């Protein structure tokens, strides 16, 4: 199957640019849902390290933490 020449190598008009640069676009971080919660992920500082234990008590006691 051969693609038509009218598509190959032709610029594609970007329709979202004006929204983005004027601040009228909605980003994922702008969305708020009912009962929405956030997660934080901590990665190891060491490659191929094995996790032996995690003490989460201080985190559980922090205000607003759901665990």
Tokens 């009218």: give the residue: 6
The answer on pLDDT for 19 being more than 90 is no
Does residue 21 sit in helix, strand or coil?
helix
34-57 core/surface letters (b: 16 or more CB in 10 A; e: else) = eeeeeeeeeeeeeeeeeeeeeeee
Does position 62 have pLDDT exceeding 90, yes or no?
Answer: yes
Residue 51, CA distances (Å) to 36, 37, 67 in order: 29, 26, 20
pLDDT tens profile 25-61: 888 888 999 999 988 888 889 999 998 998 999 999 9
């Amino acid at each position: 199957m051969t693609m038509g020449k009218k598509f190959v190598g032709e610029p594609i008009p970007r329709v979202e640019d004006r929204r983005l640069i004027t601040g009228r676009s909605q980003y994922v971080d702008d969305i708020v849902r009912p009962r929405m919660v956030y997660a934080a992920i901590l990665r190891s500082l060491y490659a191929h390290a094995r996790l032996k234990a995690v003490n989460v008590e201080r985190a559980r006691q922090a205000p607003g933490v759901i665990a």
